Structure 1
Amino acid sequence: MKVIILAGGSGTRLWPLSRDRYPKQFIKLQGDQPSLFQETFARSLLIADIDDIYVVTNEKYKFLVMGAVEEMGYDYKESNILSEPEAKNTLPAIYAGVYEVSKKNSDSVVVFPSDHKILKSIDFAEVIRSSEKLTKENIITFGIQPDGPNTGYGYISPGKENLNGFMVEEFKEKPDYDTAVSYIQKGYFWNSGIFMFNSDFFIKEVKTHAEEIHNAFDSSEGIEEAFSKIKEKISIDYGIMEKSENVAVVPVDIGWNDLGSFDAFYDVFEKDENKNIVDSSNIVFDSKNNYIHSESGKLVAAVGVEDLIVVDNRDALLICKKDQSQKVKDVVETLKSKNDLRTAYHVQDYRPWGHYKVLEEEKDSFKIKRIKINQGKKISYQLHHHRSEHWIVVKGMAKVTIEGSESFVSAGESIFIKTGQKHRLENPGKTPLEIIEVQMGEYLEEDDIVRFDQ
């Protein structure tokens, strides 16, 4: 059995926790607990060998995938990570994984989104194994028994019984409240967005119902060329599931939640006696039914409030009523229309070598960062035309190269890089390296960097 993990989504409904550069599937939403992506990878290992797990993601998330798996203690082949050159929705992404699987042999394939919460992974693995016979002539979607009339999910109308599932009569789009109530009364399921099929059968269905995608991969040398030939963005639901006559739904009770909004987030995680989800560092009096989150070192005190979502980051504060959290996506769209970078970046940004956090900045004057470089990692050899940099080592030892000359800088020591000098910072040690970087100059954005290697 093979697994395809989809890890390319941006999770705008969980802004400002989730941003384009660091979306919700990679965030540790509960302190040091695994991220949603790590939970998905661990779930995949219950049904497939590590070499049979493929991750389809955006190129800019590739290092986040590698870092997350490495943190779990696994040695994972980089060739199993398939990078989309641009987002084309779920059908091209899934087909890219299936096309890779088909190079080896025909096999059963399970498709997991990487941003879902599933509380009963072992039970789900058993259902998946018992459903394999149904994939011989059907594409399976797993249906969730609704616990209420949710308007944020698509619905599935089940028809004739087939083995441990039902043939799908119809897919229904996200309904209004009254329609959702009627769907539940008729015995409909929520559409989980988790799929299972035989790889050869799926290729045949794509050739029948989405020939452009089939031909794009069949006539290309790799994923980048194939994606360039696909003209429209298309979901698997619209492209295949709603058109095929060979679709089955298998009902599952797995503690599923897609965490598509803060309301969904609130439903999943542990609450105190007043039904608040609140960080231990924050203070709450006479308040109930709230989700309150702040970044480390930031205190939030709440008094006499109910049914609120409060997310306080250093660069953005979100306050909304719990039943309005679906509209957070509208906030993100408004910010994007203004080219506001806070939709893409946290003050802490993650890179292949580690991460940095902006501590202070003044436009066209200075910027102060705290930079962490993981053991054995290095920043590209580069120069800046419009700024100088002063590095102060606070932990570990840095190996610094300036214009080809190497030196070592220990904790408590510093070094200065002039404007226009080629330089590199690397961590030769076995523990993380941390420095404070002070940038001085008139132009402090990424466009000022000239890289000589990667």
Structure 2
Amino acid sequence: MITPVLLCGGSGTRLWPLSRKSYPKQFAPVWDQGTLFQRTAQRLSGRDYTAPLVITASDFRFIVAEQLQEVGIDPGTIMLEPDGRNTVPAILAAALYLSKQDPDALMLVAPCDHAFNDAEAFRATVQAGVPAALKGDLVTFGITPSYAETGYGYLQLAAEPDGTTPVALSRFVEKPDAARAAEMVADGRHLWNGGIFLFRASDILTAFDASAPTLVEPVRAALEGAQPDLGFLRLAPEPWARAEDISIDFAVMERSKNLSVVPLSHGWSDLGGWDAIWRESPQDEKGVATSGPATALECENTLLRSESDRLELVGIGLKDIVAVAMPDAVLVAHASQAQSVKKAVDALKKKSAAQATQFPKDHRPWGWFESLARGKRFQVKRIHVHPGAALSLQSHNHRSEHWIVVQGTAKVTIDGKEELITENQSVYIPLGAVHRMENPGKVPMVLIEVQTGSYLGEDDIIRYEDVYARS
């Protein structure tokens, strides 16, 4: 049995504005068949696999738990990084954790923001790497290149691959220029580096001891000092901060001799930009892909995507254009500049624009909310509360609130008095009142909240009780 180790971090810049720091692309609904994270978890479940070990940031912990629950997957462990430190500390923490249960546990390390068109072919490719991993190799999976990509690293093989048989790895090649990329694709002995690995916990720990011994102590201390937190495992922050921020390729793989590669040639994409989304999306005869309420007239090789049912996106006479519309931001770019979206995010950060990092929907452990309108002394929100969930018992120093239930039933507590508020009913929360809303039903509860006051920031909250242990 193989334990999937799902790496679930990310800065959310390459698919802005759909993906942002507060909601990276693996959690966003890139397509209708679930999020990339959900599709990864489903692909690495069932026969051959144990429950996954997920490593993510504290801010994403409830999103991870909720999205796994939606697809019926029970994680073995959700491990929380105090801060993102590239792939090495995360993989090392997973290996140390699993080795306590079984030193020879097979680990499949996988990013959660890649797409595969053929899940069964991927499963078969992973199985082709198992014999090499069981004999002590560190196995990586190389993607058969379909064009000369300059945005990926490459794997140089010791021999030309013959299908799915593991091949010895000669060396890692950094992202090449266009001419070198064309040469490598043509020679048949180079594969894209997919960042997916298979090995026994004992073997990768041996590699760490040999190639990166200074990393082991802080990560081991962070794991030994880890604390359970509402079903999550929170790594200790102080030793974790001493771990070097470095990738697994630089720290270990490039220095190891027992490396083998299994070729993977079944519809892989890392979805590293809107150009990749366009390539992987259904297109008409003119190469036009649309999503959501979007209409294309006389366009060619263009992606039009609207993420709001209230916003109709129309393109006329466009060629080689990417246009993505969110409720709070719109991206329009030439397809050749799709990899430059990060520059736009950096420019927005310099302007202190909230859209640079904050997703329109603010996801919380109990559900989510979004701002519908805002003025100098008022704000209107839509609040979605999951069945059985409850917000914290709280009060505000600077605002009062009006709640109008538009779906389901809310159990409302105001200064110790409880009442049920059903659809089309409303309630007023005076400034300073100690209050809570809960969803006692079996369907989502949705309400419209109108805030009025001198300050409407999310930090104007005094919490008295919280089932999610937030301060």
Residue 233 of structure 1 aligns to a residue in which SS? coil
Structure 1: how far apart are the matches of 2:347 and 2:379?
27
Structure 1: how far apart are the matches of 2:106 and 2:47?
11
Structure 2: how far apart are the matches of 1:404 and 1:213?
52
Structure 2: how far apart are the matches of 1:41 and 1:280?
25
Report the AA paired with residue 156 of structure 1: L
Give 1:446 deviation, angstroms: 1.6
The gaps in structure 1 that reach 5 residues or longer are: none
Aligned counterpart, 2:172: 171
Report sequence identity in percent.
36
The gaps in structure 2 that reach 5 residues or longer are: 227-234, 467-471
1:444 aligns to 2:456 (yes or no): yes
1:375-386 matched pairs, under 5 angstroms: 375-386=387-398
Aligned counterpart, 1:185: 186
Structure 2: how far apart are the matches of 1:73 and 1:412?
33
Residue 236 of structure 2 aligns to a residue in which SS? helix
Deviation string, structure 1 residues 316-347 (Cα, Å, up to 9, x no partner): 11000111110001111222233322122222
Deviation string, structure 1 residues 58-93 (Cα, Å, up to 9, x no partner): 11111111111111134x25x610011100111111
Structure 2: how far apart are the matches of 1:227 and 1:391?
45
Moved more, 329-338 or 41-50: 41-50
Residues 340 and 346 of structure 1: CA distance in aligned 2, closer, same or farther (over 3 Å): same
Q: Which of 70, 74, 78 matches 1:81?
A: 78
Structure 2: how far apart are the matches of 1:168 and 1:97?
24
Q: Which of 263, 267, 277 matches 1:265?
A: 277
Deviation string, structure 1 residues 284-305 (Cα, Å, up to 9, x no partner): 1111111111122211111111
Aligned counterpart, 1:110: 108
Aligned counterpart, 1:239: 251
Structure 1: how far apart are the matches of 2:319 and 2:281?
17
Residue 14 of structure 2 aligns to a residue in which SS? helix
TM-score by length of 1: 0.95
Report the AA paired with residue 331 of structure 2: L
Aligned counterpart, 1:343: 356
The answer on whether the counterparts of 1:398 and 1:410 sit within 8 Å (CA) in structure 2 is yes
The answer on whether the counterparts of 2:155 and 2:191 sit within 8 Å (CA) in structure 1 is yes
Structure 1: how far apart are the matches of 2:411 and 2:7?
37
Residue 194 of structure 2 aligns to a residue in which SS? strand
The answer on whether the counterparts of 1:266 and 1:291 sit within 8 Å (CA) in structure 2 is yes
Count of residue pairs brought into register by the alignment: 449
Structure 1: how far apart are the matches of 2:374 and 2:400?
14
Residue 12 of structure 1 aligns to a residue in which SS? coil
1:273-288 matched pairs, under 5 angstroms: 273-279=285-291, 281-288=293-300
Give 1:11 deviation, angstroms: 2.8
Structure 1: how far apart are the matches of 2:321 and 2:23?
24
Aligned counterpart, 1:200: 202
Deviation string, structure 1 residues 345-403 (Cα, Å, up to 9, x no partner): 222221111111211012x4111001110100011111111111110111111011112
Aligned counterpart, 1:209: 211
Aligned counterpart, 1:131: 129
How big is the alpha-carbon RMSD for the aligned residues of Structure 1 and Structure 2? 1.7
Aligned counterpart, 2:40: 40
The answer on whether the counterparts of 1:85 and 1:227 sit within 8 Å (CA) in structure 2 is no
Report the AA paired with residue 11 of structure 1: G
The answer on whether the counterparts of 1:46 and 1:125 sit within 8 Å (CA) in structure 2 is no
Report the AA paired with residue 40 of structure 2: T
Give 1:104 deviation, angstroms: 0.7
Give 1:23 deviation, angstroms: 1.4
Residue 436 of structure 1 aligns to a residue in which SS? strand
Residues 389 and 57 of structure 1: CA distance in aligned 2, closer, same or farther (over 3 Å): same
